[in-house]
Amino acid sequence: MAIDIKRPNGTEDVVPKNVHKWCTVEKIARETAESFGFGEIRVPTFENTELFLRSVGETTDVVQKEMYTVMAKETKFTLRPEGTAGTIRAMLQNGLLNEALPQRVFYILSCFRHERPQAGRLREFHQFGCELAGSPEPSADAEVISLANTILTRLGLKNIKLRINSIGCPVCREKYHGALRTYFESRKDELCETCHDRLERNPMRILDCKSPICRKISEDAPVIIDYLCDECKTHFEKLKGNLTALGIEYEVDPKIVRGLDYYTKTVFEFVTTEIGAQGTVCGGGRYDGLIEQLGGQHVPALGFGMGIERLLLVMEKQNCDFLVPKTCDIYFATMGDAALEKAMKLTANLREYGYYAEFDLMSRGLKAQMKYANKIKASFTMVLGDNELSENKARLRDMDTGNETEIALDDKFTGNFDAAYFDKMMNALEEQEIVDSFGKENTNG
């Protein structure tokens, strides 16, 4: 019987030739977050299930349909379906919220949801996210939105629209829930089975239902902006003023509610129409009650999550720049055991200086070794045989131009052995840097 060793449905492998694309997103996101004062946090892949029940919300699709939960002896554990709950738990447990506020953290992690796999929606997916805890001010909302906007800009993305909304606080939400129940009760028989339960427990979840029928019914539903209390209305107006001051364009979309129960007041999405139905590349908002809900003091907070797979889809679609994959600096082609030992020593020396150097590991003939050097795109090659060893010198060949330079095989052969070679290596290293908004000219087309 054949053994099925294929990867699980809804997951993807990232092979070496594509890793540089992921590194591009991670590098720019990490460096941008750090420039905004955010520090990296790393949290477990799984948490006690109760954490997500209390934070994400029992009436959400995530909890009801999508979580991966296992029983380990007498404890239920769940693979994280999103990054915020575990991060806030870690901030609480490690005392970060007892330190100077606001606390700013970011993370790059994998998440897990049992969904129907499709382009831009996987069962294991990856997120860059951030959380800012401690400030109730609209300026904090603008700061977090500005961070997301800056990352997207530095990645080179175009035609990305920011949509914002306010879903109010518990005070104005109660009035809104009443209006929604009245509206949906008149069409209750048309709602899906899941939304029958939502109608009683949390009617706002109906607005986020994936059923085409429920979506159609929701089009004429009351909007939360009409029910905001004075405080929430003032907060939202100040946020809009802050975004205008920052030069960040936005659209008010009263239909945005987000899919998780912990959100309050500001919610936002960055969306594109270029990757089909899964067009949200970043989503977030404020969750002022979550920390208290998880056992801490009342500390207002907000954040966002960016789907890395979706970002890559858009970047590829728009032909954005990626970091240049690292290629071999120098390859030593050898003939004989003595030459192989010399190549091993020279390679070790060069690697100490940060060069990518290789020598033959397959006992190939000289012609096959040179063919391999071409395949790995080696910038330089050097042939070592009896003559080179006896004279303690060899010819360094530039694979782009074909030019050769005689090099002494002595202690100077360590990283600055030849001015022309060193200059070319420095230029190659500079080309590894992705162009961003710091004003560097594009070097990799």
Distance of CA 154 to the CA centre of its chain: 14
Query: Which single residue is written with the structure tokens 């975004």?
Result: 243
Helices (H) and strands (E) in the chain, counts: 15, 16
Per-residue model confidence (pLDDT) at position 430:
53
Q: Which CATH class is domain 330-430?
A: alpha beta
Residue 48 CB contacts under 8 Å (≥ 6 apart), including other chains: 75, 76, 77, 78
**16-169+229-317: CATH architecture:** 2-Layer Sandwich (3.30)
Tell me the whole-structure pTM to 2 decimals: 0.87
> Strand 251-252 vs strand 161-166: parallel, antiparallel, or unpaired?
parallel
Rounded to 5 degrees, what are φ and ψ at 302? -160, 165
Per-residue model confidence (pLDDT) at position 73:
82
Same fold, 16-169+229-317 and 330-430: no
Rounded CA separation 165/255 (Å): 8
Per-residue model confidence (pLDDT) at position 62:
77
pLDDT tens for the 445 residues of the chain, in order: 677 789 999 999 999 999 999 999 999 999 999 999 999 999 999 999 999 888 877 656 677 778 989 988 878 899 999 999 999 999 999 999 999 999 999 999 999 999 888 777 899 999 999 999 999 999 999 999 999 999 999 999 999 999 999 999 988 888 988 999 999 998 888 898 888 888 888 888 888 787 889 989 998 999 999 999 999 999 999 999 999 999 999 999 988 876 566 789 999 999 998 877 668 999 999 999 999 999 999 999 999 999 999 999 999 999 999 998 889 999 999 999 999 999 999 999 889 888 899 999 999 999 999 999 999 999 999 999 999 999 999 999 999 989 898 888 876 665 554 555 555 555 554 554 443 333 333 333 3
Per-residue model confidence (pLDDT) at position 123:
92
285 in Cβ contact with 258 (< 8 Å): yes
Per-residue model confidence (pLDDT) at position 439:
33
Distance of CA 373 to the CA centre of its chain: 34
Strand, coil or helix: 309: helix
Per-residue model confidence (pLDDT) at position 158:
93
- Residue 364: CB atoms within 10 A of its CB come to 14
Give the side-chain half-sphere CA count within 13 A for 415.
10
Per-residue model confidence (pLDDT) at position 444:
37
Residue ranges covered by each domain of the chain: 16-169+229-317, 330-430
- The 3-class secondary structure across 51-117, one letter per residue, is HHHHHCCCCCHHHHHHCEEEEECCEEEEECCCCHHHHHHHHHHCCHHHCCCCEEEEEEEEEECCCCC
